[in-house]
Amino acid sequence: GGAAGGGAAASSSAPYHRHVGVQLQHSLGQHLLKNPLVTAAMIEKASIKSTDVVLEIGPGTGNLTLKLLEAAKKVVAVEHDGRMVVELQKRLHGTAEGRRLQLIHADVMKVELPFFNLCVANIPYQISSPLVFKLLAHPQRFRCALLMVQREFAQRLCAKPGDELYCRLSVNTQLLAKVDHLMKVSKNSFRPPPKVDSSVVRIEPRNPPPPVDFVEWDGLVRLCFNRKNKTLGAVFRQKPLLQLLADNLKTHRALVGAMAGGMAGGGGEGSSGGDGGAAPMETGGGGGGGLLAEVGELVEQVLEETGFAEERTAKLDQDDFLRLLAAFNAVRARPRSAQIATGCQSRVPEMTRLAAFQHCGGERVWRRSGPQQRVRGCRHLASATSPLAL
């Protein structure tokens, strides 16, 4: 097995190879794992229990699927290619193993995944990154995922600060999971052989997940890795970046002002005419030089407090990024515009959207009501737009 079905649709002129009567489409990333030793090694390293429900993505003709069914209680297989679905159904028709297989004919990136506590799969290379984060975002925590991926992608997943391949993918994945490189797999283990070698990685989601707003985190990491070999001072002092932050801050303040005005206007007291809502917050020059200078001052404050002005992104580890994000979250805007809470005495920072963990003990359930959003358990308002969430 291993002709995963989550990629783009195949064209009629796409190159193909014939295997068990099926044309293997390169555009779907279909490379069947033919080496039984690799299959056996993946099964062994997965440490499958007899009570496990295993997710397989792209079962192909079922070589890996059959081995999974021998060890697991149930296998959920997601296959995009209807021809492969038919082949797998034929192969398992009337067998005891077939009754423990749930076969889903769908694009894995578009389907809602059912419960599973282990994932073992040879995935299509073109969807490796979005698929990893889809798995890590699954609401029901799973034990681990063993994935066959492109060698360079595996190296990026596992890269450490200072490594040549250390990148945004490395930082984001390692925030959410523990990643280990298990073994190398030659391209000759597949039919047809891909152009590059592969690797098997183990991804173990952190449980509980880190108390970090991932949108904020990714926005910050994205900015830093735009110039990963430059110092953070050089990165954050670039005028285009400061202007981008200023524009986002202006949008954030406008949304906060609208939400605060909505609360005041709907409450009854002092809501007559134009005086009931809160006045729009000033942006220090209407988004011009005043606001840009303000953002520059806030950035300098963060760089000074963290001591990261001369540090380079390529050398920062998880703790460094967490410290940097916490520093941006701790920045307070000008006092007259910072206190937008009603009943909650905390001051909401404006350089990033403050994660609700700092206000509400980790409860992050949103209740939407008209133009405003409230966090249950705390009456402060939080904007849906973060200046760093680019």
Dihedral, CA of residue 167, residue 171, residue 177 and residue 179, to nearest 10: 40
pLDDT over 70 percentage in the chain: 70
Convert the pLDDT of each residue in 63-91 to its tens digit: 999 999 999 999 999 999 999 999 999 99
The answer to whether 101 is annotated as binding is no
Distance of alpha carbon 197 from alpha carbon 180, whole angstroms: 17
Looking at domain 28-210, does it have CATH number 3.40.50.720? no
The answer to whether 31 is annotated as binding is yes
Nearest to 19 by CA among 62, 78, 70: 62
The answer to whether 105 is annotated as binding is no
Q: Where are the beta strands (DSSP E) in 42-176?
A: 53-57, 74-79, 101-105, 118-122, 144-150
Whether pTM > 0.85 for this model: the answer is no
Domain boundaries, the chain: 28-210, 212-256+291-341
Residue 126's Cβ-count burial label (10 Å; 0-12, 13-18, 19+) is: middle
What are the residues facing 57 on neighbouring strands?
78
The answer to whether 138 is annotated as binding is no
Convert the pLDDT of each residue in 236-258 to its tens digit: 999 999 999 899 888 888 888 87
Looking at residue 30, its pLDDT comes to: 64
Convert the pLDDT of each residue in 305-331 to its tens digit: 999 999 999 999 999 999 999 998 888
The answer to whether 63 is annotated as binding is no
Decide the pairing of beta strands 16-19 and 366-369.
unpaired
The answer to whether 79 is annotated as binding is yes
Nearest to 122 by CA among 55, 37, 188, 57: 57
The H or E element containing residue 301 is helix 289-306
* Look-up of token digits 């097995």: 1
Q: Are 159 and 167 in contact (CB under 8 A)?
A: yes
Question: Is residue 377 pLDDT above 50, yes or no?
Answer: no
Mention the CATH class of domain 212-256+291-341.
Answer: mainly alpha
